[in-house]
Structure 1
Amino acid sequence: MEDIFNHFYANGALLVLWGALLFHLILPFPREAHPAILWHKFAEQLADKVNNNSNYSQSIISGTLAWLLMLLPMLIVLIALKPLVWQPQLFELAFLLLAIDWRNTDKFTAQFVAALAREDKEHAKMLIKPIVNRSTSSLSLLGLGKAGSETLIMSYGRNVVGVLFWYAIGGGIGAFLYRMSVELARAWSPSRQQFSPFGIPAVRAVAVLDFIPMRLFAIMIAIGHRAKQTAQLISQQAKSWPLPGPAWLLVSVGAKLELSLGGPAIYDKHKAVRAKLGGRIAPSAIHVAQVQKLLAWRMFAWIVIQSLIMGLIYQGF
């Protein structure tokens, strides 16, 4: 037992991983105070200055240069700062803590499920509006159930699984840069007309970063009950969704619980035609709670498996 503890302590990467999870469990960052909110607002202000969607190719170039301008200086500064820190593990811990976020998602889910259960549409809209790009004013209870389920799935997929995956690849800097890249893609989402096509480079960059972790997580979700049906639906439906990683994840959860996801959505008063994913059951309060339970257990399994793999790679644990 002592040898196991010594190996664990000597493995700084594992110690940082579990330390960040513990700290986040005890003292999560409030959503309103998270640095990602400030980053998001700064990205929107930058876009106001350089976004010109009158010319497609020029807008794509502007979006690419804006994306590089936001991320490259940050990467250079973080790499330069790391050798100056007295304890490298504390540096890694700080940036992993800034990147990871599931407690705010759990808090949102509890409040959102309660609002749906009592059919309080206005309160449910108020809860979901700050964390989605789509218009929420016209959503019915059915639409709110779908939007809430999709938001929950993508929050776990990106703010937890994606962050942990890129922590394993690039340490705290990798996890933090991934999270900031996701925020840029949200801030400049081309689903909103004002950021089309300016935001396409940011979305494509995140699509590349999401490809492996999202698909691995989707496979983990598919394992077990209804595995064959889930695999068949992923094969049939995923190609109709524009982003390959999120497509697998959304279809796997929808197929597993037989929930209807996707479908048309309104962005800035413009109706976007989206493919229908998953099963046929319209998500209600109880189904959103089931989605949260499924994702939470698979997330725990992901953490355990990643810890074992990191232990084997770094220390032969």
Structure 2
Amino acid sequence: MSNLINILISEQLLTYWILIFVVLIEKFIYLPEKYHPLTLLKLMAYGMANKVVPSKPRQKRQQQIAGVLAPLILLVPVCTIIAVFTLLPQFPLFFESMMLLTALKFQYVIKQTKKVTQALRSEKKILARQMLAPLVLRETEKLSPMGMVKANIESVLLRFCYQYCSVIFWYLIAGGVGALIYRVLYELSHSWNVKQNRFKYFGVPTRKLMHILQLAPSFLACCSLILACNLRLGSAALIQRKSYKNLSMFVLNISASTMGISLGGPAFYNNQKVRMPNCGAQKKVTLADSQRVLIIINSATWIVLMTSFMLCALAYSTT
């Protein structure tokens, strides 16, 4: 019995128990968006963008250099604060938990998705568009009810991979510090999205870095979605050529194929119609799929956590 207790409280598994604790806290205790520390970071990112990317166009090379320096400037105060906390040995587990909790912000996406679904169910299209707007970059004013459902599902799936599973991945590798730094970079990349004409060149350096950091966790997240939904359909999508066109197509094609629905298609950005490739099956999305995707994500989350436990146990056994 004492050996079992020693194993469960070992350093490797203690990392896992912190993860479970923080996941449950984040799931059941909701911090309003305006009070979350990442909201301040996004405001800082927008403020910096207004300074270094003015409305007057600048040379491509100049914007790219600014895009390299800008995240470094914003990371310096964040890393300084992190360093101060990590140098306090009295409460290491507390600060580790707080950093992970800050980075693992995802329930806002779930709550907004439920609000969009409820508004569409009540046939309140204007309200649904307002609820959807914070989750997507595309213009929501021109979206039909089916278009809103599709955009909502795409946003939830992408954010589950990039915003949730990737944070867990980097936490297991680099602890709370790694998870928080990843999330800061993610928010900067999201604020300076290259799909916006203004950040077409400025946001490229951060976007390329995020692409590298998201490759492995996105693959693992998609595997969890396959196991949570449909192993046969998901496995078939893994060998399709279009799944490897880019990272977002990889996530959407595998997820849509697994769910047996069609995603992708045209979307409006900056008053311009962009034709995104169709992916998944032929079946059109329905309002019921908005609720279904949340159930699948919830199941996939527990698969991710169980896999994390096995990895932490394996790390213990090899030491």
The answer to whether the superposition gives a TM-score over 0.5 is yes
What is the correspondence of 1:15-94 to structure 2 with a 5 Å cutoff?
Answer: 15-51=17-53, 53-94=57-98
**Contact (CA 8 Å) 1:114, 1:285: kept in 2 or not?**
no
What is the correspondence of 1:1-317 to structure 2 with a 5 Å cutoff?
Answer: 3-11=3-11, 12-51=14-53, 53-223=57-227, 226-234=230-238, 235-241=240-246, 244=247, 246-314=248-316
The farther-off stretch of 70-79 and 123-132 is 70-79
* In structure 2, distance between residues paired with 1:157 and 1:3: 36
Cα distance, 1:225–1:123 mapped onto 2, change above 3 Å: closer
**Contact (CA 8 Å) 1:222, 1:231: kept in 2 or not?**
yes
How far residue 95 of structure 1 moved from its aligned partner, in angstroms, is: 0.4
Cα distance, 1:251–1:19 mapped onto 2, change above 3 Å: same
**Contact (CA 8 Å) 2:85, 2:95: kept in 1 or not?**
no
Cα distance, 1:89–1:164 mapped onto 2, change above 3 Å: same
* In structure 2, distance between residues paired with 1:225 and 1:158: 19
How far residue 225 of structure 1 moved from its aligned partner, in angstroms, is: 6.4
How far residue 100 of structure 1 moved from its aligned partner, in angstroms, is: 0.8
Matching residue's letter, 2:280: G
How far residue 269 of structure 1 moved from its aligned partner, in angstroms, is: 1.4
* In structure 1, distance between residues paired with 2:205 and 2:43: 18
**Contact (CA 8 Å) 2:229, 2:296: kept in 1 or not?**
no
How far residue 231 of structure 1 moved from its aligned partner, in angstroms, is: 3.6
Deviations 1:274-309 (A, max 9, x none): 222212222221011111111110111111110221
How far residue 265 of structure 1 moved from its aligned partner, in angstroms, is: 1.5
* In structure 2, distance between residues paired with 1:232 and 1:14: 32
* In structure 2, distance between residues paired with 1:153 and 1:224: 13
How far residue 122 of structure 1 moved from its aligned partner, in angstroms, is: 1.1
**Contact (CA 8 Å) 1:51, 1:59: kept in 2 or not?**
yes
SS in 1 for 2:279: strand
SS in 1 for 2:194: coil
The farther-off stretch of 158-167 and 97-106 is 97-106
Deviations 1:182-241 (A, max 9, x none): 111110001011111111111111111110000111123234765444344342222334
* In structure 1, distance between residues paired with 2:89 and 2:271: 49
SS in 2 for 1:274: strand
Q: Please, what TM-score do these two structures have when normalized by structure 1?
A: 0.91
Matching residue's letter, 1:152: V
CA RMSD of aligned residues (A): 2.2
Matching residue's letter, 2:131: L
**Contact (CA 8 Å) 2:228, 2:299: kept in 1 or not?**
no
* In structure 1, distance between residues paired with 2:250 and 2:305: 20
Cα distance, 1:155–1:5 mapped onto 2, change above 3 Å: farther
**Percent of aligned positions that are identical:** 25
SS in 1 for 2:87: helix
Gaps of 5+ in 1: none
How far residue 179 of structure 1 moved from its aligned partner, in angstroms, is: 1.1
SS in 1 for 2:304: helix
**Contact (CA 8 Å) 1:14, 1:307: kept in 2 or not?**
yes
How far residue 66 of structure 1 moved from its aligned partner, in angstroms, is: 0.7
**Contact (CA 8 Å) 1:259, 1:282: kept in 2 or not?**
yes
Matching residue's letter, 2:63: S
